[in-house]
């Protein structure tokens, strides 16, 4: 039960942070990405804050064997950059630039009833399903 409560609280805090920071607003995100036009640098501070918090959290996590909820720590040690990572990053960036959403803010905006978010999340889920089908075929071959 405490796992579910902790997950709910983390999701609520994350979603609230996305709303307060403007990350769930595609116009603000697209303004941040428009470096040649009317650039809005405010999201750079949001991302910088997230990086600082993430660095601290990972430094703490690397020193622990169990999470605060008692589960074993599973931190990836893979730092290999390959074609799949680069193509995936490019696809993510193009999707972010076209829609103004990435997965978390897309789900927050969907919860707020935004039609554009419905299109984005539907496309995202379809892409994830296509990836799974392709991966299963690739591993069988």
Please, what is the Cα angle at 52 between 33 and 77, to 5 degrees? 95
Give which of 39, 43, 40 is closest to 20, Cα–Cα: 43
Contact 32, 40 (CB under 8 A): yes
Cβ neighbours for 47, distance < 8 A, ≥ 6 positions apart: none
pLDDT tens column, 66-86: 888 888 888 888 889 999 899
Categorise residue 70: left if φ over 0, alpha if ψ from -120 to 50, beta otherwise. left
Please list, in sequence order, all residues whose beta carbon lies within 8 angstroms of the beta carbon of residue 108, skipping any fewer than 6 positions away.
Answer: 15, 18, 19, 24, 117
pLDDT at residue number 23: 82
Q: Give 86's strand partners.
A: none
Q: Give the pair of three-digit tokens for residue 102.
A: 């990435």
- The pLDDT tens digits of the residues spanning 19-43 come to 888 888 888 888 888 888 888 888 8
Q: What is the mean pLDDT of the chain?
A: 89
What one-character-per-residue DSSP string does 93-128 give?
HHHHHHHS--HHHHHHHHHTT-HHHHHHHHHHHHHH
**Tens-place pLDDT, residues 77-128:** 888 999 989 998 998 888 888 888 888 889 988 988 989 999 999 999 999 9
For tokens 């690739």, what's the residue? 138
- Percent of the residues in the chain that have a pLDDT greater than 90, as a whole number: 30
pTM for this entry: 0.74
């Amino acid at each position: 039960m405490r796992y579910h409560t902790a997950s709910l609280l983390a999701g609520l805090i994350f979603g609230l942070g996305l709303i307060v920071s403007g990350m769930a607003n595609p116009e603000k995100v697209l303004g941040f990405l428009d470096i040649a036009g009317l650039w809005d640098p405010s999201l750079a501070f949001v991302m910088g804050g997230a990086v600082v918090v993430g660095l601290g959290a990972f430094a703490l996590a690397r020193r622990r064997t169990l999470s605060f909820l008692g589960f074993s720590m599973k931190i990836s040690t893979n730092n290999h950059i390959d074609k799949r990572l680069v193509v995936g990053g490019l696809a993510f960036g193009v999707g972010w630039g076209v829609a103004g959403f990435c997965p978390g803010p897309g789900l927050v905006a969907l919860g707020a009833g935004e039609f554009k978010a419905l299109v984005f999340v539907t496309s995202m889920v379809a892409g994830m399903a296509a990836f799974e089908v392709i991966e299963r075929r690739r591993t069988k071959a």
